[in-house]
Amino acid sequence: MARYLHILFCILCFLGGRSHAQEAILEESTTPNVIVIVADGFGLSEYARHNQLAESEGAVPWLSVETPHLDALRERSLVLRDFYATPESAPSRAAILTGRYPYRTGVIHSQGAHSMMAGDEVTIAEMLSAAGYRTGAYGSWQLGDHYPMRASDQGFQDAILHVPARNKASGDHRGVILYRNNREVEMKGKRGGIYTDAMLRFLTTSRDHELPFFCYIVYDSLEVGKGSQDLDSQLVNEHLTELDENIGKVIERLTNLDVLEKTLVLCTSDKGAAPLVGDQRERAQRGQVGEAGVRAPLWLTWPEELSSRASEIEQLASHIDIVPTLLEACQVGSVSALELDGDSLLPRLNSREEPPANNESFLVTQLNQESTPVKYKNFMIRKGPWKLMSQHHSEAPNRRVKEAIQLYNLQKDPKEKTNLANTQPEKFDELLNHYETWFLSVTKTREDQAGRPPIWLNRKSENPVVLTRDDRVEGGKYEGSPYYWKLDFQHGSRVDITVQRSGDEDVVIETCRVSLRESVWELPVSLGKSVLHFEALNLTRGKQDLRVEFIDPNGQRVDVECTVRLVHR
């Protein structure tokens, strides 16, 4: 909360004036609209056509679909080809929205509650909303489905979002359950089209009210296969066709509203294009830090300000640089005062000269699947042409095990084939020291909040509360219990709890047991019954763990998936 108040104070103080640097960049006073588009399809098309990793024989030979709207947008955009994401979606989205390294925000990876972003993080939506922008979020959120982590709690005034663990869609994504401003609604059609239509309405309303707007849209992740040999070409082509049509609709609406010229459109992906790389399959697994797992495209188009720049530039950058760039473009905030990790790209992009290489800057990305970050495990650091990295290992490598920690010169070796760790010991040590300093800094940010954050239960802010497998903590704390939910009741309450069983309906269950602190409630489970109601339970204020267990006729616990709905009376 202290950081939240400090940042809002800095924003409000800054609104009264602009820095000299901003005045130099924006000679005429403009308030651009902003659209941030996040989609795996950008990684697919970029790797297929432009990335060096995709030039090898056999790389995406079946990617033959035409994408006229994407092609046209790219031709009008500045394209950063040396741009990095985190290997998984949730950490990248946290960085895109906050301008901070994901570990600082509490996001460790994309699984379960480890993707929850701390509620006291301040997003670009909150910053721009304070400056008078209308804000909208559409698509996949994946940074926490409960107060105070929802999009509506993080500065977005309008939102239609997909919550995968609560989705009741059929296989063709028709009849999906979405959340419109936190209210569950069932909608017909493909999700991408639903998101786009909602965004188009938002753009029109904003223009009608003559208000600047900030839109953040995330098109659902495309699962092209679990491994590099398991690709579905038809699925990829259909995905790109749909994405192209939706992007075309957005550009057409901006044109018809006569706001395209003054709208900054930023397109990126929340992960690399792995496993779509031919001869680099050993380094092309999703979730890993080889170039195919972390190299992402970044396109920027802003006709009013960036039309004179070249179409492609070499500029080392990552998702943490997006928020500082948008703040400078919108003349809001100060990067140093806001405690951001990234730097604005605008001065370098707005220059008519090719931006000089910054030999002192470096960037780091890391992804662990543990509950807390593990040093040296699945990390990479870039500085100039040099890249130090450790691919995923079952155990964290020792800092001096150079077989595990590798060094590459990407300018000479873009496919990461020649490990220079033994022949360039000074460069190895320099980058490793940078990484160790970085790791200490980002992990100290929330060292007093280790583990997954509890879900706040507050009658006024969220009622009912729906708990799914994505919110739970698995194993370890309670003997014989496979998982539990960490809750924090903000007040005493009388609640009804509904448990909906899912999964294997053939498993015979005799009893369902619900536990909170020292209180335990049980209900018999008749054959074929999948929904159980625990009514009028008195719960006290404070932190407590909710456990749900299913017991068979022999008294043994049975692993059964379930969803829990908790309603304050």
User: How many whole angstroms separate alpha carbon 535 and alpha carbon 538?
Assistant: 9
**Nearest Cα residue to 382 out of 416, 334, 338:** 416
Give CA–CA dist 118/105, Å, rounded: 6
pLDDT at 254 over 80: yes
Instruction: Average the pLDDT over 26-40 and give the result.
Output: 77
Instruction: Give 484-510 pLDDT, tens digit per residue.
Output: 898 999 999 999 999 998 766 678 899
Instruction: Look at residue 537 in the predicted model and tell me its pLDDT.
Output: 95
Residue with tokens 């903000």: 490
For residues 405 and 15, the model is more confident at: 405
Cα–Cα distances in angstroms (integers) from residue 519 to residues 290, 348, 528, 548, 566, in the given order = 49, 60, 27, 12, 16
280 pLDDT above the threshold of 50: no
pLDDT of residue 26: 37
| The pLDDT value given to residue 174 | 47
Q: pLDDT (tens digit, 9 = 90+) per residue, 284-313?
A: 566 789 888 898 889 999 998 887 666 888
Report whether 150 contacts 129 (CB < 8 A): no
What architecture is the 455-568 domain classified under in CATH? Sandwich (2.60)
The pLDDT of residue 34 is above 70:
yes
Which pLDDT does position 50 carry in this prediction? 42
pTM: 0.88
DSSP sequence for 17-71: ---HHHHHH-SS----EEEEEE-HHHHHHHHHHT-GGGGSTTSSTT-----HHHH
Least confident of 17-26, 109-118, 290-299: 17-26
473: three-class secondary structure by DSSP: strand
Name the phi and psi angles at 271, rounded to 5: -165, 175
Burial class of 89 by CB neighbour count within 10 A (0 to 12, 13 to 18, 19+): buried
Rounded distance, CA 24 to CA 564, Å? 55
* Residue 164 identity: P
Least confident of 225-234, 498-507, 548-557: 225-234
Sign of torsion over alpha carbons 266, 272, 278, 280: positive
Contact 406, 130 (CB under 8 A): no
First to last CA, the chain: 28
SS3 138: strand
Q: Does residue 135 sit in helix, strand or coil?
A: strand
The chain-wide mean pLDDT, for the chain, equals 83
Answer yes or no: is pLDDT of 104 > 60.
Answer: yes
What pLDDT does 348 receive? 77
- pLDDT at residue 459, as a whole number: 93
Beta-carbon count within 10 A of 105 CB: 25
Give 165's DSSP letter: G
| Helix axis angle, 68-75 to 233-256, nearest 10° | 60
Look at 520 and 283; give whichever has higher pLDDT: 520
* Mean pLDDT confidence for 470-474: 83
pLDDT at 310: 60
Backbone angles phi, psi at 171, to 5 degrees: -60, -25
Tens digits of per-residue pLDDT, 390-421?
986 656 666 666 678 999 999 999 889 999 99
Q: Strand, helix or coil at 92?
A: helix
Task: Output the furthest CA–CA distance in the chain (Å, rounded).
Answer: 77
More confident residue, 280 or 494: 494
pLDDT, position 146: 93
Tell me what pLDDT residue 186 has. 87
Q: Indicate the CATH number for domain 2-161+216-350.
A: 3.40.720.10
Q: What is the pLDDT of residue 277?
A: 47
In this prediction, residue 480 carries a pLDDT of 66
Q: Is the pLDDT of residue 157 over 90?
A: yes
Say if residues 274 and 290 touch (Cβ distance below 8 Å). Answer: yes
Residues in CB range of 31: below 8 A, 6 or more apart: 212, 262, 330, 331
Residues 371 and 475: their CA atoms lie apart, in Å, by 12
Question: For the chain, which residues make up each domain, given as ranges?
Answer: 2-161+216-350, 363-449, 455-568
Give me 169's structure tokens.
Answer: 């869609």
Instruction: List, for residues 422-432, the tens digit of each pLDDT value.
Output: 999 999 999 99
Kindly indicate the confidence band of residue 7, based on its pLDDT and cuts at 50, 70 and 90: low
What is the tens place of the pLDDT at every residue in 357-376? 555 689 999 998 887 898 99
Measured from the Cβ of residue 502, the count of other Cβ atoms closer than 10 Å reads 12
Quote the pLDDT of residue 71. Answer: 85
52-73 confidence digits (pLDDT tens): 334 444 445 555 678 889 888 9
**Contacts with 447 (C-beta within 8 Å, 6 or more apart), sequence order:** none
Share of the chain above pLDDT 70, in %: 77
The mean pLDDT of 318-347, rounded to a whole number, is: 89
Return the CATH architecture of domain 363-449.
Answer: 2-Layer Sandwich (3.30)
**DSSP state, residue 133:** -
Distance, C-alpha 482 to centroid of its chain: 27
- Environment class of residue 248 by beta-carbon count within 10 Å: exposed (0-12), middle (13-18) or buried (19+)? middle
pLDDT of residue 171: 40
pLDDT number for residue 338: 80
The residue type of 44 is L
- Residue type for 39, please? A
d(CA 98, CA 367): 18
Task: Say yes or no to pLDDT of 212 above 60.
Answer: yes
Contact 476, 520 (CB under 8 A): no
**464 pLDDT higher than 50:** yes
